A and B are shown apart, each in its own frame.
Chain A
């Protein structure tokens, strides 16, 4: 396997693992929100925020994937020697490893954030004016997804 394949495999992992996490998280929260909205339609605005929150991990994953593709020179301004033509197997592994933090942090944090948000929506159903607090608590989970994202970015932009 060449360096390019390894790097692209990393891209795929970052996008789909984080994406799966977000899909599960949002799906879960959305179901709870639907249940609540069927009885209290006026809570839509608050439920919307909480439902969208687990979706961010997917975006982070996509961002990293995009950055790696840029770095490889597959898109963007053409240069004399695109990186993807000269990438070694070692560099490929490095790229692959750089994608892992956001992939796994995204997957797990999104699922658990989904649970936190689902509980937040339930809480909002009981006390609509406390939605802000539920949001803040759910954001704590986001923090670890952001750490994964940062690590991945730092690794990618290091000059190999």
Chain B
């Protein structure tokens, strides 16, 4: 679609500059999109590993927990777990991928995970918490990766929208407008020329 501009030479120059800029922007964005895409694919690979590992471990944890639960009175079990000692503290830092800021989670795990007496609990609970303890750090890593993945995907989406806007709307529009202005200018030139020739003839005819 043609832009609403007056067909002047000034405007033409301005538009040509804009078109140039748009082309360069388009190329840059396209590069960025490709790079993000590559990062995304890498991340998906690691994420898949992390996720299967964490899921397997968690399943193990739940299995032991169920075994502990089967043998222990509900209230006694919950009492045993009601006052945990393990302190999980998360430090969030940032990392940049291109111009995208993604979080880096640094967990600080303190204290022992075993927070109950032995007389009224099953050993299965120990086994369960031992596994849970080892899975904790992986889970933090997993959540970091998942968040990064989501941010990346969003960014790619946004970049692609921009690339498309440039490629399919702005650049064609500019091109069209430039073409229009050029044609218009040519027309005006032709008109002027014709008028000049006419004037010359009139002067000579006298």
Question: In the complex, are there CB atoms of A and B closer than 8 Å?
Answer: no
Residues of B within 8 A of A (CB): none
